[in-house]
Amino acid sequence: MQKITIISVGRLKEEFFKAAEKEYSKRLSGFCDLKIIEVNQQQLPSNPSAGQVETALETEALDILSKIPKGSEIITLCIEGKLHSSEELSTLVENNANIGSGSLTFVIGGSFGLSETVKSKSRIRLSMSKMTFPHRLARIMLLEQIYRAFQIGAGTKYHK
């Protein structure tokens, strides 16, 4: 069974996000071995300097990189990433299962994004939209899109 890991900076606090995550995790259990890892978001002052942000991102990067399964294909979610359709994501997931390592790791940064150190380790930089979303919502959107990708691959009517 394909392994999918989501590493996310910050924790889900709102019950509605937790419920959505639980629902999509349950749905995905028939398609993949899903693991969601939360890493601590570094605390910054309300108006941090560029240096403070960079230091925080590098600290988060060390934590993120230590959690990536060995041999896993890394996909970072970042604003400068490439937009993919649901069908393209489905192909990417399917190709990884068939000819890749069978392990995908998606990385979602916190409110200041991801360190270049993490992004440089990924072969694919994925953008979900030209709009900006809170990282907690992006996690739920990603879970739905991964579920949709498996549904597309299975040829079900979920994806219209």
What's the pTM? 0.93
Contacts of 7 (CB under 8 A, 6+ apart): 37, 39, 64, 67, 68, 105, 106, 107, 108
Tell me the per-residue pLDDT of 107-136, one tens digit each, with 9 for 90 and over: 999 989 999 999 999 989 999 998 888 889
Spell out the domain ranges in the chain: 2-154
Is the domain spanning 2-154 CATH 3.40.50.720? The answer is no
Tell me the per-residue pLDDT of 33-65, one tens digit each, with 9 for 90 and over: 999 999 999 999 999 999 999 999 999 999 999
CA–CA dist 50, 36 (Å, integer): 29
